[in-house]
Amino acid sequence: MMREVIEESLANQFRQTGYLAFGSHDCPFSPEERARIRHLAMNDPDRFVVVSTGDTDEAVSVRVHRLLIDGDRPRATDAVLVDALLAIVAAPGKLALYEKILASEPVVVRRMQAHVLAEGEFIGRHRDSESSKRYLAAVIVQLNPAEAGGGFAIYPPDRPALFLHDFTVLVTDAELEHEVMPVMAGRRCTLAFWLARAETC
């Protein structure tokens, strides 16, 4: 009963604000799961490519490891690696939580990639829905926060901008405009994946 109340509260908050920021105390992933995600997504630097233009032609400066590529059907760049990540981020309990938050079921992961931003790097302002109308939301798992800078800025309609730094997992509505501010020191490492209704696959 308590879990249902908490999930309903999360769904209400998401409807009202367009985002959910989880801390270390309420993170949907255990420390062991996050460590496993980090190992799987970040252990091969040669798989990262430098990207300077985003999907919607926004300016970016980021290194990207493309794991699950969207298209007519999602395509894994490395089936073994992607399956291992999906076993964590798209486990039945996790999918049930996303569905509760989004008030939509069933949902699937259509796209997934790891990001590394070093000093001076950033992701420009954009909306995920402009990449694909299928997307309901993005989920960002913080694997290593920058020492300075690298905040996640969101721009809700008719409300002041918000700048988020201290989160372990962030869920954002695909219609919500956002950007990642330049990293001033250290490296910012994340895993991002995008959710869509299953029938759109």
- Taken in order of first residue, the domains within the chain and their CATH numbers are 2-200 (2.60.120.620)
Q: Report pLDDT for 63.
A: 98
Of the candidates 110, 103, 71, the one whose C-alpha atom is nearest the C-alpha of residue 89 is: 110
Mean pLDDT (10-residue bins), the chain, 201 residues: 68 93 94 97 96 93 98 95 98 96 93 98 96 96 95 92 93 97 98 90 49
Q: Report pLDDT for 158.
A: 82
Q: Report pLDDT for 1.
A: 46
